[in-house]
């Protein structure tokens, strides 16, 4: 396979035009907690140096949070007497991770500025900082989200697209969040980092016809038709710890790990975007950054709505 396009520079996206559902500001904590961003950044870098995979996990937490009733930190809540949280929903159970890292970041921010910085904003900043540290683009994170006092496992089950989704289901799921086809294909590029469980790709490697045969066989050895559900495979076999455009090159050769990945390049409306991002990594970086800002603006709680949790796992 031809070598992938590495971008060893950070593409800075200083300002991105998008429609916000509320007034978020990159300077929201400039007076109330001026060290907030640097504290989060240092903690994210420390966590990734300790375990590279955590960068992808933190990015995924933000995505799974925003797709369920907006970017409100609800995914972080443990079950309590009044609701069953989102952690045990099908897309998250034994899969979404990084909660301990978020706890660590929150405790450090609380020490500097008690009761000021929301858990939802920490997720948004950590997603950006993880992407940058692993070689991806930067963007200006708009802040001012507040935390939800509740969570919904049922909403998580219906709002987060599963890895078995076809293209029309993916388009519908992202459209419901105000995200376009281009946003969806660009955001899917986050699968250039991280790992997936056998249970997420078993159906693809045994049932799909649009998969490279050698690639499928190599995965079948670690993911049998039953058992080994938690065995892991790289979402991007080429450069799994570097944020680049190799994910799209993999799709061109039938080596998307998830069924939903390969649906982006399967003779349909999204093929041209996959080809564009394969040949123009800087365009992918730009579109990814814009889509992340747009996703971060999904129905945030602001003003007097919600709360600023002291413990991200519990309602105050």
Residues with active-site annotation? 64
Joined tokens for residue 228: 């080994």
46 is in an annotated binding site: no
Q: How far apart are CA 271 and CA 81, in angstroms?
A: 47
Number of residues written out for the chain: 316
Cβ burial of 112 (10 Å; 0-12, 13-18, 19+) is: middle
Token output for 19:
């429609």
Q: Which residues of 164-199 are buried (b: 16+ CB within 10 A; e: fewer)?
A: ebebeebbebbeebebebebbbbbbbbbbbbbbbbe
Neighbours of 82 (CB within 10 A): 9
Is there a binding annotation on residue 65? yes
259 is in an annotated binding site: no
**HSE value, Cβ hemisphere, 13 Å, CA-based, for 134:** 31
- 103 annotated among ligand-binding-site residues: no
- Consult the annotation and say whether 121 binds a ligand: no
Q: Is 147 annotated as a binding residue?
A: no
Q: Is 161 annotated as a binding residue?
A: yes
* Dihedral pair phi/psi, residue 50, rounded to 5°: -75, -35
DSSP label of 24: -
Distance in angstroms (rounded) separating the CA atoms of residues 125 and 249: 28
3-class SS of residue 197? strand
- Residue 191 marked in a binding site: yes
Is 68 assigned a ligand-binding role in the annotation?
yes
State yes or no: 244 annotated in a binding site. yes
**Numbered residues of the known binding site for heme b:** 191
**Numbered residues of the known binding site:** 65, 68, 70, 72, 74, 86, 161, 191-192, 236, 239, 244
**Numbered residues of the known binding site for Ca(2+):** 65, 68, 70, 72, 74, 86, 192, 236, 239, 244
């Amino acid at each position: 396979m031809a070598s992938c396009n590495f971008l060893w520079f950070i593409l800075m996206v200083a300002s991105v035009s998008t429609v916000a559902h509320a007034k978020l500001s990159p300077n929201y904590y400039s007076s109330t907690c001026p060290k907030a961003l640097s504290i989060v950044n240092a903690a994210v870098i420390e966590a990734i140096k300790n375990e590279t995979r955590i960068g992808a996990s933190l990015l995924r937490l933000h995505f799974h949070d925003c797709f369920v009733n907006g970017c409100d930190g609800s995914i972080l809540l443990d079950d309590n007497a009044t609701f069953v949280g989102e952690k045990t929903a099908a897309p998250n159970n034994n899969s979404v991770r990084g909660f301990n890292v978020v706890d660590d970041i929150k405790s450090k921010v609380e020490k500097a500025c008690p009761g000021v910085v929301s858990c939802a904003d920490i997720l948004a900043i950590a997603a950006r900082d993880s992407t940058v540290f692993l070689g991806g683009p930067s963007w200006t994170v708009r802040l001012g989200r507040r935390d939800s006092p509740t969570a919904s496992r049922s909403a998580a089950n219906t709002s987060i697209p599963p890895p078995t989704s076809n293209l029309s289901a993916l388009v519908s799921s992202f459209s419901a969040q105000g995200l376009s086809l281009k946003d969806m294909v660009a955001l899917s590029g986050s699968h250039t980092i991280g790992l997936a469980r056998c249970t997420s790709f078993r159906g693809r490697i045994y049932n799909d016809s649009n998969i490279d045969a050698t690639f499928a066989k190599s995965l079948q050895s670690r993911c049998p038709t039953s058992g080994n559900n938690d065995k892991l495979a790289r979402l991007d076999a080429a450069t799994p710890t570097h944020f680049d455009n190799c994910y799209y090159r993999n799709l061109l050769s039938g080596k998307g790990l998830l069924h939903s990945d390969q649906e982006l390049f399967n003779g349909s409306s999204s093929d041209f975007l996959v080809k564009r991002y394969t040949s123009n990594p800087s365009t992918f970086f730009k579109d990814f950054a814009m889509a992340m800002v747009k996703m971060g603006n999904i129905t945030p709680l602001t003003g007097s709505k919600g709360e600023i949790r002291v413990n991200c796992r519990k309602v105050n």
